[in-house]
Amino acid sequence: MRHDHLLTAKQLSRADIETVLDRAAAFDGDPGSARERHADKLLALCFFEPSTRTKMSFETAMKRLGGDVVDMGPVESSSVKKGESLADTARVVEGYGDGIVLRHPKQGSAKMASEYVDVPVLNAGDGAGHHPSQTLLDLYTIREHAGLDDISIGIMGDLKYGRTVHSLAHALTNFDARQHFVSPESLRLPRSVRYDLHESGAQVREHEDLDAVLPNLDVLYVTRIQRERFPDEEEYEAVAGEYSIDMDTLEAARDDLAVMHPLPRVDEISPAVDDTDAATYFEQAHNGVPVRMALLDLLLNDE
């Protein structure tokens, strides 16, 4: 992978993605092979928004590679609170770590930070923008269950604000994947993402209703619809109910359907589904570790 930073899924070619996934599979199969690979390295974690899960996953990955992490801590107790710019924070933290993992509420923040530093920047979520390490673990999980070519994938829920959705949609254009987007009209994919998908010649369809496409799907990727996207509670309840999965929904699905979710979930997947073969979301979360190990291994290498 010939990149200095990991900023968006869009920057990744098919070969890049396969390189990461193959290395992740190698670490997954033989965790001992990773033990001392980055024993002298420190990874700086800069999370300007709370995210226990992604942060823990990066921390675990770095420690499994033999390295360690330094954590900026919560924003409330940092110099950011005193009005420091991200450009300054990045240049200071560059002196502490061999790489920077950044989560920040503004879109394009990781790209900007990368312009100020010489160490690799890994975008761990930039507002409604991108979340490429999540995408790679999603792809890893999809590959394990259905392969990445000649598949039909349904992507459902909040497609407008869901950065995991945007990144995944971009990445899937590298493969022979038919993408079905299922959402209420008000939460359709944003124009800029539709533009890219169109430009790439991706096989994309949009639906307001899951029923029509569900029987054909290899993978159903569910995302959370957030309450705050709706003006009133009643409207939210109606929409959220319509875009959720339970045992009845699965009746119409193929036996080998994999249901995925970036987690945390609230009501969009009924707990009853957890015990079925379709439930793939916890495995998906666990895959974050080998995939982030592979990413760090590739980006932190001095070669």
Partner 1 sequence: MSDRELRVSKIQSGTVIDHVSAGEALHVLSLLGIDGTKGTTVSLGMNVPSERLGRKDVVKVESRELSDDEAEVLSLIAPEATINIIRDYDVVDKRRVEPPEEVSGVLVCPNRDCITNAGEPVETAFAVLDDGLRCEYCGEIVREDITDHLQD
Q: Which residues are known binding-site members for L-aspartate?
A: 82, 163, 224
- Contacting partner 1 (CB under 8 A), which of 13, 107, 203, 216? 107
Per-residue x/- mask for partner 1, residues 122 to 141, rule CB under 8 A? ----xxxx------------
Q: How far apart are CA 200 and CA 178, in angstroms?
A: 13
Q: Which helix (H) or strand (E) holds 63?
A: helix 52-64
CA angle 12, 16, 17 (to 5 degrees): 80
- Contacting partner 1 (CB under 8 A), which of 111, 207, 265, 286? 111
- Contacting partner 1 (CB under 8 A), which of 35, 92, 195, 208? 195
Asked if 114 is part of the footprint of partner 1 (rule: CB under 8 A), the reply reads no
Question: Which residues make Cβ contacts (< 8 Å) with residue 93, sequence separation at least 6?
Answer: 44, 46, 72, 100, 117
Q: Residue 65 has which token pair?
A: 């590679």
14 annotated active-site = no
Q: How far is the CB of 96 from partner 1 (least distance, A)?
A: 20
Nearest to partner 1 of 113, 148 (CB atom): 113
Question: Which residues make Cβ contacts (< 8 Å) with residue 7, sequence separation at least 6?
Answer: 110, 111, 114, 121, 123, 130, 132
Beta bridge partners of 126: 104
Q: How far is the CB of 8 from partner 1 (least distance, A)?
A: 8
Active site residues: 53-54, 82, 103, 131
Binding site for partner 1 (CB under 8 A): 85-87, 104-109, 111-112, 115, 126-129, 191-192, 195
